[in-house]
Structure 1
């Protein structure tokens, strides 16, 4: 008998490998296309469709159950993901790179979604219910580490490579100071061509001071419009396409949505959201090229935020193209303060002009190589559970077995209670998560708390992330001691009751950041802790012959339970206002407590045996 291998050897790496391709497809692809000059309208449209494989993965989840083993699907999909990443890498230099890389991103998306199905199924097969409960927080933590790696470390790597392969980086330090505000005039003709000798480089002021305060929004918008018109007119970049909106409401909106809005506004006596007439002060930053580039050359400069306080920001991230026809004219960037900023602070901005295609090629080659390593590692490290076999046919044939996986899910005992649990457990959270950041950022006259973007990053990106991780790990540990049945009530309270903090914030609108941080930390900790029960219940109802497919179907209902209420949350908030919206959120916490008594859960499920 072979010695059982500890889950610590494979759970962290398996779920890190599960998260990486998702963030590569959904987030990193957007950043890469932006850096390579694809328009916002174009890449937003096509990359949004890449989410489809994760939405419809329950449709082919029975295939993973019916053919081969879960272990087989994991190692093969990791190799296929590596091939897809390599395909993206080596088509980046091509002339029609957008078309080719999108094809490989589709391969990545379907491979990653299939890997998710197999990995979750393997997790349930190899681990006892107690170990599943214990490691549910660990797997979530390493999945989040993958998100942070994709959104942080890989972007830093690409930026470093850009810097190392091109002209010297353009660095600008911007300070928000307590000075009197003066009228900023936009006069591009005052800059003459530099025509330097020696090395080619980009030049701009090394530092920029912006007086703290607000100006009329209309004045800021008019200057920003002039800057955009200049940059586009000189060929530094092209105008973004806008999606037209129908002015005439459809029948649904005319006869259902508008009357419902009117009724809700009358019921809650809510006012229309006021658009702020004031915007943060701004400054205009000129950027020039030192000398004329060679004929046919295009020098690309990506200029964006580097580090510091996010309350100092660019109107948008700029991508300039300098060539022999426009090199002798300046390009401009608009740097604007958060309208709620009231203290001196600073931020750094950097422009990189390196070989952008080479930089992203290297990034994708690195991750492709990592997935080959994952493939080899998991091929030897993943245990071979005896239960990991293809589902046996009952004489119905492959097509009959395929349909049976879905039919058996919907024949489960207490299906109604299970579906209600999946759809309602996060009913309140699904709406809160969409409106929490806007509430914290919106001005107090609009019902928000008036935080700066820098404060929001501190509250959510640091304190909130730590609380979420700690809550998730602790939830797994305690669930493995007493089981799901014991903890489900406590965890339902943990994920719902802290939402009261946002209602209190909307009532008292405290000025102290500490009160806001405390509310966010409690809510994020409660979400991490309470989400454990949700994941364990999905595992519990998926048990049986087709547990891999059933778990995928359950996660489909999980996504549905987040998607539909989330879609309605912004509309409801605009009608009700923040305070009444958070009252509504608290009302939405109640239905799940009416469902839980009807759930039949084995008292021993989730309890970890002492080893």
Structure 2
């Protein structure tokens, strides 16, 4: 039953976005710590945890499915219930002898549920808030998301670590048991949020089921399945190409040892079919599988999507008159800061190990890194996110974009100084606070612009927002790949100068943004034609 009563976003935004962070942090960050403490090889951890995080990069491929099937509210609540079951399943699976393959499959499933829940959550937010409210509360979105991430990557890790060391029980506990307890705790907190959400969330009038021909909803699942599988094979092939390029650079005498092919076992899905295959041969096999899979499934997807609403949702986004300028904005606005996100944790911990080691970090201990990055950085980004959202709401997106972009990019100068001066923990705490405040402040502009881009066609707001966020995640992944290549071949000082250079395309993309986005003035988005 639709409700016409407007609900203050503060009633439901904090719980929704705190919960949104938990499965993301579990799959993308906490899983690495778990597997490392259980003694698995770094190469296997890096390879497989990167693969299972794929759904967040390609979630825009099934954004139209959420748009066209059921309501956003129902999608959101169903996915949250499935995520609870996934967390509980992972906790039990850690007790199995074959825990690695089983938990990988569970984490991959959680990633799909979480990415789908993200689409529904963002679409629900757009339908439940007035346009003039969206920029105001975007800071609260990012704030509670980051608090959820802090809960998963700090509190859960701390409790599990103390159980392993015996600090809580007085007797050391096996790592797999300790992590199971940690995941049970996370599942309990997530379940509590799931039980609260039906009481806190409104039922927007615009959140209705689209009227589709009989049988069309089932066909949409088949169409999106082939489309998503095609994207997966393309991603798989892109990784193989990147490692083959690394091999080529190494053969030319360019240092690329850390990202060229190595002898490896080969898997299809999670099934091993070959052992100890030489690196280049393995990547050529991977590339062949990817090309064949993408070609076959891409052809099926193309035929099945002909004259469908899913195709319309995709073509109306990529067919916008200003699509190249929009893509440039999504790529470059936060590219430099995304590079820092991968580089700074290494910079804080790295020490020079010998004359052949070209990197020269600050060499902080893990507990110091936790204080500098975990405490001061999180406080900075939380405060910056709230202030940025309020600033955009008060000043307007057009007048606020330049201060937002400056706040996001100018703190990069501090890292150039740090790479030269090599300061201690106290000065670096200030650097981290300023940098993360600037990122939280500037990121508010990105989110508001993305919301306005998604609402250019009101019939496909949820799908278009999912496409935008998915493309953003893909571009962030590209920034991470570039960061890894630079760190493998340069000292931190030159790398930070390269990061600073990405300020210029960031500012250029603001000039290129369509005027109707920059001049948007809180238009009402409540009454939408959903027929």
Q: TM-score, normalised by structure 1?
A: 0.63
CA distance in 1, matches of 2:14, 2:200: 12
> Would the alpha carbon gap of residues 437 and 33 (structure 1) be closer, same or farther in structure 2, given more than 3 Å must change?
closer
The 2-side partners of 1:25 and 1:441 are apart by 23
Match of residue 440 from structure 2: 528
Is 1:597 paired with 2:416?
no
| Distance verdict in 2 for CA 1:462–1:416, change over 3 Å | same
Change (3 A) 1:168 1:470: closer
Distance 2:359 2:177 in 1: 47
The structural deviation recorded for 1:480 is: 1.4
Distance 1:495 1:394, change over 3 A: farther
Residue 473 and residue 167 in structure 1: after superposition, are their counterparts in 2 closer, same or farther (change >3 A)? closer
| C-alpha spacing 1:18/1:450, structure 2 compared with 1 (3 Å) | closer
Where in structure 2 are the equivalents of 1:75-94 lying within 5 Å?
Answer: 75-94=77-96
In the other structure, the counterpart of 1:120 is: 122
1:267 aligns with none
Distance change >3 Å, CA 360–CA 511, structure 1 → 2: closer
Equivalent residue, structure 2, for 1:136: 138
Paired residue for 1:276? none
Match of 1:420 among 319, 328, 332: 328
Aligned residue number for residue 390 of structure 2: 477
Equivalent residue for 1:460, pick from 357, 373, 376: 373
Aligned match of 2:452: 540
Alignment correspondent of 1:149: 151
* Partner deviation per Cα, 1:438-480 (whole Å, 9 max, x = no partner): 4455569967564533554443222222112111110011111
Aligned match of 2:191: 372
Counterpart residue number, 2:201: 382
- Correspondence list, 1:62-101, <5 A: 62-101=64-103
Change over 3 Å in CA distance of 1:598–1:452 after alignment to 2: closer
| 1:471-509 superposed Cα distances (whole Å, 9 cap, x missing partner) | 1110011111122122112111111122222234445x2
1:559 aligns with 2:473: yes
Cα pair 2:350 2:363 within 8 Å, conserved: yes
**TM superposition shift of 1:396:** 13
Report the 3-state secondary structure (helix = DSSP H, G, I; strand = E; otherwise coil) of the residue aligned with 2:156. Answer: helix
Residues 376 and 430 in structure 2, CA contact (< 8 A), matched pair in contact too: no
Match 1:60 to one of 38, 59, 62? 62
CA distance in 2, matches of 1:515, 1:533: 28
Superposed CA offset, 1:58-109 (max 9, x none): 1111110000010000100111111212222334444444443333222211
SS of 1:372's equivalent?
helix
Q: Bigger CA drift: 591-600 or 359-368?
A: 359-368
Distance (Å, rounded) in 2 between the aligned partners of 1:440 and 1:55: 28
Of 18, 24, 28 in structure 2, the residue corresponding to residue 16 of structure 1 is 18
| Contact in 2 for aligned 1:64/1:70 (Cα 8 Å) | yes
Where does structure 1 lack aligned partners over 5 or more consecutive residues? 170-351
Per the alignment, do residues 587 and 118 of structure 1 end up closer, same or farther by CA in structure 2, a change over 3 Å counting? same
Number of aligned residue pairs: give it. 424
Q: What is the rounded CA distance, in whole Å, between the counterparts of 2:348 and 2:165 in structure 1? A: 35
User: Following the alignment from structure 1 to structure 2, what is the Cα–Cα distance between the partners of residues 147 and 480?
Assistant: 26
CA 1:375–1:41: 2 relative to 1, 3 Å:
same
The Cα shift of 1:32 comes to 3.5
Shift of 1:421: 0.8
Contact 1:85 1:364 in 2 (8 A): yes
Q: Which secondary structure state, in structure 2, belongs to the residue aligned with residue 545 of structure 1?
A: helix
- 1:161-204 per-position Cα deviation (integer Å, ceiling 9, x unaligned): 557799944xxxxxxxxxxxxxxxxxxxxxxxxxxxxxxxxxxx
CA contact 1:481–1:607 (8 Å) conserved in 2? no
User: If you compute each CA radius of gyration, which structure gives the higher value, 1 or 2?
Assistant: 1
More strand, by proportion = 1
Q: Is the 8 A contact 1:68 1:390 kept in 2?
A: yes
For 1:472 and 1:607, the matched residues in 2 are separated by 23
Query: What does the per-residue CA deviation read over 1:297-328, in whole Å, with 9 as the maximum and x for residues that have no partner?
Result: xxxxxxxxxxxxxxxxxxxxxxxxxxxxxxxx
Structure 1 pair 7/443, CA: closer, same or farther in 2 (3 Å)?
same
1:215-226 → structure 2 map (5 Å cutoff): none
Aligned equivalent of 1:493: 406
Residue in 1 that maps onto 2:341: 433
Contact 1:441 1:451 in 2 (8 A): yes
8 Å Cα contact 2:361-2:492 kept in structure 1: no
Partner of 1:588: 502
Alignment of 1:203-602 (within 5 A): 352=172, 354=173, 356-392=175-211, 399=305, 400-441=308-349, 448=360, 450-453=362-365, 455-506=368-419, 509=421, 511=423, 514-543=426-455, 544-572=458-486, 577-599=491-513, 600=515, 601=517
Counting helix residues as a fraction of each chain, which structure ranks higher?
2
Q: Distance in 2 between matches of 1:553 and 1:583?
A: 31
